[in-house]
């Protein structure tokens, strides 16, 4: 049986229930993943299932850190793979082209290469955002002013932080406001993206 717990407080552990924690950190939260110890009443086959790869058990695959720009050190589900240099990436997250195009249109006012302000390039990417997406492109400026690199960065960022409700609304709000951006301050941005999606027949 796989147990998953989510916490917004640093230091929360599974010590009280006797699990071995697998930990990854965002800037302000910790999540733990652990497998329960099989009881003596369980069959050998059940124990074999319980001891399966913990990354695969949550629907992910182990990849090298920064492979393809998908995660950085301390990235998503770090600790679920056999090596600290690898991280567990969900394999089922797909950001549609219409959604990405509308995020780009709404972020920069026409999907244009913004040269100044809070967030640069086609998607108005900030340096911390670029760092979180795995620092693709060799440097911040080289990536954010290159459409393909900045698009790759956005997809990697969303893969890192979107773990449920994989909708264009969730993608848009997290792109604009960060990991918890869907909760506050992103209504106006989502309205722009939603209007764009309507013109394209949906996202």
Residues 47-72: tens digit of each pLDDT? 333 345 666 655 566 665 544 444 44
Among 11-15, 20-24, 34-38, 68-72, name the most confident range.
68-72
Q: Which of 13-27, 92-106, 177-191 has the lowest mean pLDDT?
A: 13-27
Strands 60-64 and 30-35: unpaired
pLDDT at 94: 75
Q: How far is CA 10 from CA 1, 26, 101, in A?
A: 25, 10, 36
Section 11-32 average pLDDT: 28
Domains of the chain, by residue range, sit at 2-90, 97-199
Residues 122 and 143: their CA atoms lie apart, in Å, by 10
| Range 97-199: architecture per CATH | Orthogonal Bundle (1.10)
Spatial neighbors of 144 by CB under 8 A, at least 6 apart, are: 120, 121, 122, 123, 125, 130, 150, 153
For residue 86, list its beta bridge partners. 64
In a 13 Å sphere around the CA of 78, the CA atoms on its Cβ side amount to 17
What global pTM score does this model have?
0.57
Residues 28-51: tens digit of each pLDDT? 222 323 222 233 343 333 333 334
Q: How far is CA 78 from CA 54, 63, 92, 162, in A?
A: 11, 10, 18, 15
Do 136 and 168 form a contact (C-beta atoms < 8 A)?
no
Choose between 15 and 109: higher pLDDT: 109
In the block, tokens 């013109």 appear at: 199
> 119: which 2 tokens?
């967030």
pLDDT at 162: 84
Task: Tell me if residue 192 falls in helix, strand or coil.
Answer: helix
């Amino acid at each position: 049986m796989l147990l998953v717990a989510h916490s917004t407080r640093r230091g929360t552990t599974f010590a009280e229930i006797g699990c071995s924690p697998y930990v990854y950190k965002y800037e302000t939260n910790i999540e733990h993943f652990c497998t329960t110890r099989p009881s003596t009443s369980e069959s050998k086959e059940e124990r074999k299932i319980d001891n399966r790869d913990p990354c695969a058990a949550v629907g992910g695959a182990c990849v090298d850190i920064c492979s393809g720009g998908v995660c950085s050190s301390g990235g998503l589900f770090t600790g679920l793979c056999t090596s600290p240099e690898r991280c567990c990436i969900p394999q089922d997250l797909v950001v549609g082209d219409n959604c990405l195009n509308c995020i780009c249109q709404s972020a920069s006012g026409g999907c244009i290469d913004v040269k100044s302000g809070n967030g640069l390039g086609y998607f108005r990417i900030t340096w911390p955002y670029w760092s979180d997406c795995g620092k693709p492109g060799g440097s911040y400026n080289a990536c954010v002013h290159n459409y393909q690199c900045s698009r790759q960065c956005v997809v990697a960022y969303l893969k890192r932080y979107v773990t449920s409700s994989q909708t264009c609304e969730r993608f848009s709000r997290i792109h604009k406001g960060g990991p918890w951006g869907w909760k506050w301050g992103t209504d106006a941005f989502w309205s722009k993206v939603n209007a764009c999606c309507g013109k394209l027949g949906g996202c």
